[in-house]
Amino acid sequence: MKILVTGAKGFVGRNLCAQLNNIKDGKVRCYGDLKIDEVFEYDLDSTREQFEIWCKECDFVFNLAGVNRPKDTDEFMKGNFGFATILLDTLKKYGNACPVMLSSSQQASLTGRFGNSEYGRSKKAGEDLFLEYGKETGTMVLVYRFPNLYGKWCRPNYNSAVATFCNNIANDLPITVNDPSVELELLYIDDLVDEMIHALKGEEHHCEFEGLDVIPSTEGRYCFCPITHKVTLGEIVDLLHQFAEMPKTLMIPEIPADSFAKRLYSTFLSYLPREKAIFDLKMNVDNRGSFTELIHTLNCGQVSINISKPGIIKGEHWHNTKWEQFIVVSGHGLIQLRKEGSDEVLNYEVSGEKIQSVIMLPGYTHNIINLSDTEDLVTVMYCNEIFNPNKPDTFFDPVDKKEK
């Protein structure tokens, strides 16, 4: 299959082409037997000759080209409706009846706050043109009305509030929120790309619209992505400020699977300047080695890394409720546990040559010993709760009392 993507260097186009090329190169296999032979990436720097050849040879068209912020409002109709006309005329010229997808906008509904939108009128004209083309030629036409889009590579200070907020907060620039209660319907770029690739397989989602409301319908004239999130501006900004504080607090906010927060966090990180992609951690250093907390979580504890110098013993304490996992990743060590009130010692010899996880059981005093005379012992440590100095739940008691 040969795919033509117009507007290939725009926000949606870049993300779509990246995934299409991943499929073409065999890097993605989650779409079953979908095979892609060529991805024709058309944009402003493409030649007319290339455009003609690609329209002649393609098996599917994603028309993402359009005008969003022209200097003159007249350019809306020229850029959005005019190019659509050229594209369809060129396909007809070569008798190419391949399926075509049109990226439209909620503004094409011309309802509510979009009732007098020149941009919306140009998008509506493009929709009508494509739908009429489908009736005339019998071609499969897929018209998607996008809500607000966000994700990596979206241009800030252009037409996405989320991109602007992410960029400005990541770069310590001011933002303006006139009304935090304003709600946006947001579509994440990876969800959109996934829907578009399913459309290649004839698995698109159809609908009708009542104003801005999507009415799913297998017979609908329009198409939509079923995964969107409705979030207020205030909620977005609050989350972004939490994300920005992570290098100071080490706190990873709650980002459940399939949540808006998870998508927004990835988006925010894509706007970090290079100097913020690295940050110092507080190392607690003494003559035994070091202990450094790596990350905290709201409900699932923390992860740390412990470095023990040769011959050093660390630990020698127990917990009532707290539990830990020790994973030696470098060096050679011995982990010992003894149930409080018992003399039996459990010995676990561990090494970075065979990575294993040893659980520090509640009610068992435990230690970790570097058995090497020359090498540091490096251990990743997970604890099910963040250390609370007011309630440490940590009680000193040597594992082997005879050795103390």
Closest residue by Cα to residue 267 from 243, 248, 235? 243
DSSP conformation letters of 298-341:
SSS-EEEEEEE-TT-EEEEEE-SS--EEEEEEESEEEEEEEETT
Where would I find the beta strands (DSSP E) of 49-161?
60-63, 100-105, 141-146, 148-150
Q: Tell me the CA distances in angstroms from 254 to 36, 239, 296, one per residue in order.
A: 37, 10, 11
What are the structure tokens assigned to 154, written together?
Answer: 């979206």
Question: Distance between CA atoms of 44 and 153, rounded to whole angstroms?
Answer: 18
Whether the CB-CB separation of 103 and 63 falls below 8 Å is answered with yes
Whether 382 is catalytic is no
Q: What is the CA radius of gyration of the chain?
A: 29
Given the residues 119, 133, 144, 271, select the one marked as catalytic. 119
- What number of other Cβ atoms are within 10 A of residue 291's Cβ? 18
DSSP conformation letters of 344-359:
-EEEEEEETTB--EEE
Whether the CB-CB separation of 64 and 12 falls below 8 Å is answered with yes
Active centre residues (catalytic): 119
